[in-house]
Amino acid sequence: MSEQALRGLAASPGVAVGRAHQLEALQADDLPHRGHETEANAALAALDAEADALLARAERLRDDGLEDESEILTAGRLMALDPLLRGELQRLTEHLTAAGALRAATDRHAALLAALPDPLLASRATDVRELGRRAARKLAPETALAPHAEPSVLIALDLGPADVAEVRESEQRIVAIALAAGAATSHAAIMARSLGVPMVVGAGGALLNAHGRIAVDGDTGVAYVDPSPDREAWAAAEMARLSSERRAFARVRTLPPVTRDGRWVTLLGNAATAVEIRAVAAAEVDGVGLLRTELAFLDARAWPGEDEHEQALAPLLSLLQEMVATVRVLDFGSDKTPPFLAGTEQRGLDLLLERPEHLAAQLRAILRTAGAADLRILLPLVESPQQVRTVRTLLRAAAADTGWQGKLPSIGAMIETPGAARRAHDIALEADFISIGTNDLVQYTLGLDRRHSIATARSAADPRVLGLVAATVRGATAAGVTVEVCGESASISEIAALYVGLGVAELSVAPARLDELRATVRALSAEQAAATAEQALAAPSEAAALALARELVSGELGDQQDEMLGGRDGVLA
């Protein structure tokens, strides 16, 4: 068969190839009804078995120090023991099979949760649906996840965290996950990132017809069904290379991120979950340069209140004590629009300032939960200095309301549009630091879709985008404030080198990219990077600018990285 490329969304980075392993239970209509009592007993037994399995996995995760993942599975076990759910199962089995009743009962409970105004409870709807699917699979054992003698790619319509946790027990034979539906912000995706399993979501229904070989590119969000020999060879080589590089880069993570000619570049991580924050801390960097807060509320039916913000933030900020914690206020809008904002055209800070009472509630929650973190507050999609002044007034009021002691947290302005980049100096005069969100800057400058920002991150090398980054750095430097880049493009070695050359002082990327970024910075000459960045600004195209950057990284940096990572003689720098 010919290769079929199914484009979805990147949920967990990495590349892998293996045999497709479908994980879908039989539908209720595929099995005959065996009578009310038989079906009820079977449904309850399957639910009990799933509760026992969740408890066992939760205990193993806790033993491995993965407390957050363990708590997720423990919550799933409590759902399985819910007497209301079990009572509904018994009623439904009067006319449905055990598998059908499990799916129907959990779907109903999930719908009720999704409709609740409490965003934290509403976010558990996916976990309840997963519980029903997993219990139903126990009635169709041939679909269960089991170890394989060869590397396999787990395929399903959707998954929950328990399914991904099970990958840990398959002796690494499950090398990647591809989902027809799903979301990059789901608990399953969080678990995949924490375990280092490449994952693509939203690849479409055609994925469920895959039964041969499949290659997963978790960096670009593409699943290749029946990959060509060349594609399969590439994926296998990438698996081996990435594994080797991860081990090598990790060996230098305790060394400072200083260029060969002595320039310090602050490294930070992007995060939204406790799993990611722990990965940031393990990477030996200064903290978090972008803590996304809206992802916890994407299923919310109303604006989250102060208590909901505190519940979401406290577990995260508790892990960042004595570390940089850059908390971005809610960045709703566009592809991150919860149900209660359906139809809105506003986004980011503009949306928040239309409803300042909700922004004030989040600011109070941030201050109450910060503890000893080196707190910075980040504002999305800033367009004017007046917006920053308004937020600073709200922050002062929040500090008074909460009894905040000492200096107010720094306020950072995200530059994400061409207009904001051109007004960077004026904005920087009001802000304490500037953060460039290159995902949106690329979109607004070049007209690309931010939902595929990982796949299009290299477009940040377009001279038009680089020119806006350079203008932002010039404006901020003249105002005496530092510049951070927190977009996906900063995790690409060639583009990171250009940012260093343009004078960017901080780079914040996904935790999995921090070790490689440190190695790139340490191998770099800031002076040479500046010269290359000037050439890239004058380049005729994105391809030409990337070629210049690639020559810098692969040429001058190649020998330095070989030496740093062991090279020919295996000696670390």
Name the residues annotated as catalytic. 187, 486
Order of strands across the sheet with 199-201? 4-7, 222-225, 213-217, 15-22, 152-156, 174-179, 199-201, 9-12
- Residue 442's identity, in one-letter code, is V
**Cα–Cα distance, 291 to 257 (Å, whole number):** 21
Q: What token pair was written down for 400?
A: 């008074």
φ and ψ of 410, to 5 deg: -65, 145
Quick one: which of 430, 435, 327 has its CA closest to 388? 430
d(CA 323, CA 321): 5
H-helix or E-strand containing 131? Answer: helix 125-137
**SS3 of 412, please?**
strand
Q: Tokens representing 448?
A: 């690309």
**Dihedral (Cα; 74, 76, 80, 81), 10-degree rounding:** 40
Q: Which amino acid belongs to residue 428?
A: A
The Cβ of residue 20 has, within 10 Å, a number of other Cβ atoms equal to 20
Residues 6+ positions from 345 with CB-CB distance below 8 Å: none
What does the DSSP 8-state code read for residue 491?
G
What is the three-class DSSP state of 321?
strand
Query: Cβ distance 501 to 533 under 8 Å?
Result: yes
Query: At 484, which helix (H) or strand (E)?
Result: strand 483-485
